[in-house]
Amino acid sequence: MGGPDFTVIAGPCSIESRDQFLETALGVKKAGACLLRGGIWKMRTSSKTFQGLGSNSFDMIRSVLRETGMGLVSEVTDTEQIEQIHDIVDMFQVGSRNMHNYSLLKALGRTNKPVLLKRGFAGLIDEWIKAAEYVTNGGNPNVILCERGIRTFETATRNTLDLNAVVYAKHNTDYPVIVDPSHAVGIRALVPDLALAAAAAGADGIIVEVHPRPAEALSDGPQALTLNDFEQMMSRLNRVLSAIDRPLQKAAQLAH
């Protein structure tokens, strides 16, 4: 990432079952996604809501990755989880709530896998860039910054997508910068337009939530694109990418 190619990461908010994960994986792969996303441990606002399948799902996840040949980005919420999923993921995700978790960032600095660092929803751009240095100082240079919306006075949307931060980080750092329009806006119908805006603004990629049946999703259903929505978004995105001369990154066939 960070070269001319534009990377599309897509998948469910949470991995919920073999059927749900496989159906999503096959659908987003066919429509042009390069990497899968999917939460194993979820950082939910309420402790009473679905917290992710956790370690019981490792074998099932491995088998879906083998079957599809896709790579996976998944969030680690605790240092102990790094070792547990090191051989499953191709990229670690640090969630918005953990941007300031410096012991987690330092531990990821000792790994050899790329780290997708979400911006804290109340994090300054400067704090986000400094957080990335906790990873790189440990010897892992592969940090991808991800703008996922910040908390503002606005309540009509879940968060406010800060494209300033994307442009600022592109101009002032060497990290690849991607956008998560799903958490930024929180409303399915508004996600594709923001994905296109991210590409036009110079982001190096997007990470988007997709669910085959959003009404049944155990987390973040209201912002999940259906497979059909995703396909339509990809065809519009491809037109923006060709206008700005950025090829869509192809999925590598990975062995798991």
Q: Which residues bind ligand PEP (CB under 6 A)?
A: 13, 39, 43, 95-97, 118, 148, 180, 183
Report d(CA 210, CA 99) in Å as an integer. 24
At 99, the amino acid letter reads M
Give the one residue of 9, 10, 13, 177 binding Mn ion; rule: CB under 5 A: 13
| Cβ partners under 8 Å of residue 64, min gap 6 | 18, 21, 22, 25
In degrees and rounded to multiples of 5, residue 87 shows phi and psi of -90, 0
If DSSP codes are grouped into helix, strand and coil, which group holds residue 77?
A: coil
**Site mask for Mn ion (CB under 5 A), range 193-232, x = bound:** ---------------------------x------------
- What's the rounded Cα separation, in Å, for the pair 200 and 215? 31
Residue (29 or 183) nearer to ligand PEP, CB: 183
Radius of gyration of the chain (CA): 17
Which of residues 68 and 223 has its CB atom nearest to ligand PEP in the complex? 223
Nearest to 207 by CA among 121, 45, 53, 94: 94
Say which residue the tokens 């494209």 belong to.
Answer: 163
Q: What is the dihedral of CA 25, 29, 33, 35, to 10 degrees?
A: 50
Q: With CB under 5 A as the rule, give the number of residues binding Mn ion.
A: 2
Nearest distance from C-beta of residue 43 to ligand PEP, angstroms:
5
Nearer to ligand PEP, 196 or 207 (CB): 207
Residue number, nearest CB to ligand PEP: 95
Closer of 113 and 238 to ligand PEP (Cβ): 113
Q: Could you tell me the smallest distance in angstroms from the CB atom of residue 98 to ligand PEP?
A: 8
Collapsing DSSP to helix, strand or coil, 93 comes out as strand
State the nearest-atom distance from the C-beta of 219 to Mn ion, in Å: 6
Q: How far is the CB of 181 from Mn ion (least distance, A)?
A: 12
- CB of 188 vs ligand PEP, minimal distance in Å: 15
The residue ranges that bind Mn ion (CB under 5 A) are 13, 220
